[in-house]
Amino acid sequence: MRTYEITRTTAETDIALSLCLDGTGKSSIDTGCGFLNHMLTLFASHGRFDLNVTCKGDTDVDDHHTVEDIGICLGEAFRQALGDKKGIYRYGQMILPMDEALILTAVDISGRSYLAYGLDIPTEKVGSFDTELVEEFFLGFTRKAEMTLHIRQIAGTNSHHIIEGCFKSVARALRQAVAIDESRKDEIPSTKGVL
């Protein structure tokens, strides 16, 4: 089983996170941020990842540090759980509808960190959640996961639907990319021989 556990404590957040890439989608999420709890629960379910997250953050300031630092921890967990990346498909893609929203995601587990973020979220908040933090989450994630991630909004007018479609689309693209190609399970999926 490809798993990893991480704890990360700073002056702003105290996080414990565990990830199993070969899971069933079960999760236990308590971030102190209700909307992020919802997104990570969806992420785990649609990616079929087992994910446990607890965070005590300085949410009396705002949710920024909590959201960014959880993205960092999740990215690190993905990178570590993948190990040498032997046998993975490496690439994944998904075009996912969420009511009127349509989100395209493409991922390359390349060893190179890059985020191409193309969401146009029409409101500054969903409930008490600052919508600009979606980009911060995925920046932290891609930097630590060492992967290339493209997220594009093709359609959408409802902020909740756009963000939810994003998390589901990313999860499903990642599910494809981390899956083991049984016909090449002992190979690194690169002509360089390393990722």
Contact between residue 146 and residue 61 where contact means Cβ atoms under 8 Å apart: no
How long is the chain?
A: 195
CA distances, 89 to each of 38, 48, 107, 145, 187 (Å): 28, 16, 11, 16, 10
CA 42 to chain CA mean position, Å: 11
Q: Which residues contact 56 (CB under 8 A, 6 or more apart)?
A: 13, 14, 32
Q: 3-184: what fold?
A: Ribosomal Protein S5; domain 2 (3.30.230)
| Model pLDDT for residues 93-152, shown as the tens digit of each residue | 999 999 999 999 999 999 999 999 999 999 999 999 999 999 999 999 999 999 999 999
pLDDT of 21 reads 98
| Domain chopping of the chain, boundaries | 3-184
| Model pLDDT for residues 22-78, shown as the tens digit of each residue | 999 999 999 999 999 999 999 999 999 999 999 999 999 999 999 999 999 999 999
Is residue 195 very low, low, confident or very high in pLDDT (cuts 50, 70, 90)? confident
